[in-house]
Every structure is written in C-alpha cells, then in structure tokens.
Amino acid sequence: MLHSNLLKVTDFVLAKEPFTALERRAVLGLASLYCLRMLGLFMVLPLFAVYAQELAGANAASIGLALGAYGLTQAAFQVPLGWLSDQIGRKPVIVGGLCLLVLGSVLAALADTLTGLAIGRLLQGSGAIASATMALAADYTRVEQRTKASAIIGASIGVSFALALVLGPVLAAWGGLPRVFEATAVMGGLGLMVVLVGLPATPQLTDGGRAHIADRKRLGEALWGQGLGILYASIFCLHLLLMAAFTAIPAVMTEQVGLPPEQHAWLYLATLCGALPGVAMLVRRRQALDDSRPLLALSVLLTVLGLVTALWASSLLVLGVGLMLFFVGFTALETILPALVSIVAPTSLRGTAMGIFSSAQFLGVFTGGALGGNALHVGGAVGLVAVLSMLTGIWLAGLWRYGRAPMAA
C-alpha cells in the first residue's frame, strides 16, 4: 500500500522528465526507509504523556524531557554522521544508525522507570541518519532530479506522521508503550532490509557528493546566507510547538473531554482528514506568491490557535476543531519550509543546508518536550499557553523581519 502510494506520487512529480530505473528504485527505497524509521518515532507522540504516567519518577516535567530526548541526540549527531558518511560511505552509517534505533527501541520497551525510558529514547536518536540518507539520495540521482527526489522523500515523512497518529494509539491500547517500542524495533529491522537488499549498489561519488564534502568550508554561508537562518529558526519553532502540544493534548483528550485512550486514534484520523483541504489550499497558494511571509504567518497563527483551542477544550467538538486547525497550520509549514530551503540554498550548499535544517528540527523536538513539560508542570495549561504565545510572537517578528529574501527566491 505504501509502495503504491509513493509510486503515484512519483508518477505525478515526474510527469515531464522521469527518473531512470536506478533512480526510481533508489528514491522509492529511501522514501520507504524514511517512512519506516519516522513512523516508529512518531507513534509515541499521541500517547506518551498518558502511558508514561504509569512509570516510576513520572511527572509533567520529566515526561516532557523523556518525550523530547531523542531530538537532542538527533540534533547533536546529524552533522558528525553526515561527515562520517563522506569518509566511510553512506550505507555503513545508515546501517549503524538503524541498529542504534533498534537497540534504543528495545531498551525503551523493557524500561520500567522514566529514566530508563529516556535512555532508550536518547539511544534511538543517536542513530541520526537523515543527512547521510539525503546525501545518498543525491549520490543516486542526477542534479536535475534531486529536487524531485527530495519532494518524494519529504512526502514519505508526511505519510508516516499521519499513519503514526492512528497506529500509535491502536498499538498502545493493545499493549501499552512497550508494544509501541517493540513495533518501532521491528520497523528499524525492516529498514535494515531495505538498505541491505532493496537499494541498488552504491554509485561512485557524484558531483553532488563531492560538493557535500566541499561545503564544510562554506558552513557560514549555509548557516546564514540568503536568509536561510530564519527558515532554520522556523522549523525549530514548529517542532517545538509540536512536541509541547503532545505533552498536554493526550491528557486533555482523556481527562477534560473524557475520550478513552483507545479511541484517540479515530479523532486524530478524522481531524487529519478534515485538515487536508486547508493544507492543499495553503501549499498551492504559496506557489503563486512572490512574498510568502503573509502565508507563513497565517500558517503559524493557525497552528497556535488550534493548539490553544485544543488545550482549553471541554467538549469533543471544540477539541476536534482545535486539532484540525493545528494540523492545517503544522502540515502546511512542514511541507513549505523544506521546499523553501531547497529553493533558496545555493546548489552546491543544498545538502549541507538540509543537514542543518534537520538538526534545527530535532533540536526543536528536544526543546519542545523539555520546555512544554516544565511549563505544564509549573503553570498548567495557562503556563504552557503563555510560553508558547511568547515564542510565537518572537517567531512572527523574526519571520517578518528576515523572511523577505528567501520567500522571494
């Protein structure tokens, strides 16, 4: 089913100039790998805050730290493992990272304390293979096909996020958090099979690969050139909001609205489906604009408004509306921001820029879990809303001040 969906996306994107057979096989394999890996990591989001309360040492602050822990090691190891893949090859790094994901998932499944669970999450995140995987995609594809390859791989992440919000609560209702982490370990094993059996032989290093090495000398340009900095800040803030939201929303669904955990999946599915027309409208609209700042600002406001509405919901209808608004804004930004980075970054810096973008994203994951959990612990929903509102104000001001150049590219 996943393969057929990706195939349809491929046919649509490649209507004018198709991939070669090798490129097609490589991109579909890498997209499947991304989906398997991210599906396991995303599945804990809609249920972690509820089920982790059963573990020794659990409170809102410690749960938030454990939830975001994998983002810390992801952010720390993206660039070093990308560099290592330049030295010893992409596949060995990817295989090693998947092995760490499997090991961390097994440890998390066996944990009976929140500290043990956090250690497992840290180990999961230490397999930071996003930059090596994207560099491998560049090695497999011609220069003119790399934007399409990135789009297909990016779409697989969206597929995994949607599936995870539904499958996570189903698995947890069957066997709690351990069952979810066991499933994550299995998916990591399937990812290993994709790398070892499904992908074509590793090609000789292409111009894109050589540029990836040379890019280290131009790190400053990749960090700040042409307004890239505000795009990195935006993905950081977006995933901070996501993780902060899921330190609280599962408890809201259970305690304020009275929705049993085993029924959470259906609410997520309904609100995600309801959000799709809004997402499509925002993404299409961006392509027609020279200045994307108003559209990005609208998406940010929808995300935060939906989050605040959901946090203060006392009925299923209000909660559903809040989640739908949240998913419209979040999913639109998740689609638009990486596309802008790929457009704005100079061709020879695109791989490095995407690596920095991934690091900023995962740093936002850790910060959101830690900040959201502590704000919830100290000030409850009011404290969490106050912190996120302050962050949003700073984000919007920075976007409006520094966002003009890349959006016009």
- Name the range with the highest mean pLDDT among 61-70, 159-168, 187-196, 393-402: 187-196
pLDDT band at 408 (very low <50, low <70, confident <90, very high): very low
Kindly report which listed range (200-204, 212-216, 341-345, 364-368) carries the lowest average pLDDT score.
Answer: 212-216
Band the pLDDT of 369: cuts 50, 70, 90: confident
pTM summary value: 0.75
Q: How many domains does the chain have?
A: 1
pLDDT tens-digit readout, 270-324: 898 898 899 888 877 766 666 778 888 999 999 999 999 998 888 999 999 999 9
Q: Token pair of 246, please?
A: 């899921």
- CATH number for the domain spanning 93: value is 1.20.1250.20
The model's confidence at residue 214, banded by pLDDT at 50, 70 and 90, is very low
By C-alpha distance, which of 39, 108, 106 is closest to 67? Answer: 108
Of 4-8, 44-48, 380-384, the least confident: 4-8
Convert the chain into a string of H (helix), E (strand) and C (coil). CHHHHHHHHHHHHCCCCCCCHHHHHHHHHHHHHHHHHHHHHHCCCCCHHHHHHHCECCCHHHHHHHHHHHHHHHHHHHHHHHHHHHHHCHHHHHHHHHHHHHHHHHHHHHCCEHHHHHHHHHHHHHCCCHHHHHHHHHHHCCHHHHHHHHHHHHHHHHHHHHHHHHHHHHHHHHHHHHHHHHHHHHHHHHHHHHHHHHCCCCCCCCHHHHHHHHHHHHHHHHHHHHHHHHHHHHHHHHHHHHHHHHHHHHHHHHHHCCCCHHHHHHHHHHHHHHHHHHHHHHHHHHHCCCCCHHHHHHHHHHHHHHHHHHHCCCCHHHHHHHHHHHHHHHHHHHHHHHHHHHHHCCHHHHHHHHHHHHHHHHHHHHHHHHHHHHHHHHHHHHHHHHHHHHHHHHHHHHHHHHCHHHHCC
Domain that holds residue 363: 2-407
Q: Are 329 and 237 in contact (CB under 8 A)?
A: no
List pLDDT tens digits, range 146-182.
Answer: 667 766 776 677 678 778 888 888 888 888 889 999 9
CA 298 to chain centre: 21
In this predicted structure, the answer to whether residue 6 has a pLDDT above a threshold of 70 is: no
**What would the two tokens of residue 251 be?**
């408890």
Q: Residue 286: what pLDDT?
A: 67
28 has a pLDDT exceeding 50: yes
Write down the pLDDT at residue 122.
92
Amino acid 16: pLDDT: 56
Average pLDDT, the chain: 80
- Note the pLDDT tens digit of each residue in 313-325: 889 999 999 999 9
pLDDT value of position 306: 93
pLDDT over threshold 90, residue 100:
yes
Residue-level pLDDT at 11: 43
> Rounded distance, CA 24 to CA 140, Å?
9
Rounded to an integer, the average pLDDT of 8-28 is: 67
Q: Which two tokens stand for residue 80?
A: 């070093």
pLDDT of 350: 62
Among the ranges 13-22, 199-208, 228-237, which has the highest mean pLDDT value? 228-237
201: Cβ contacts below 8 Å, ≥ 6 apart:
none
pLDDT band at 3 (very low <50, low <70, confident <90, very high): very low
Q: What is the pLDDT of residues 233-248, one digit of tens each?
A: 899 999 998 888 888 8
What is the distance between the alpha carbons of residues 28 and 216, in angstroms, rounded to a whole number? 29
pLDDT of residue 212: 46
201 class by beta-carbon count within 10 Å (0-12 exposed, 13-18 middle, 19+ buried): exposed
Task: Indicate the burial class of 269 (C-beta count within 10 angstroms; 0-12, 13-18, 19 or more).
Answer: middle
Lowest-confidence pick of 205-219, 251-265, 298-312: 205-219
Rounded to the nearest 10 degrees, how much is the dihedral formed by the CA atoms of 305, 308, 309, 313? 170
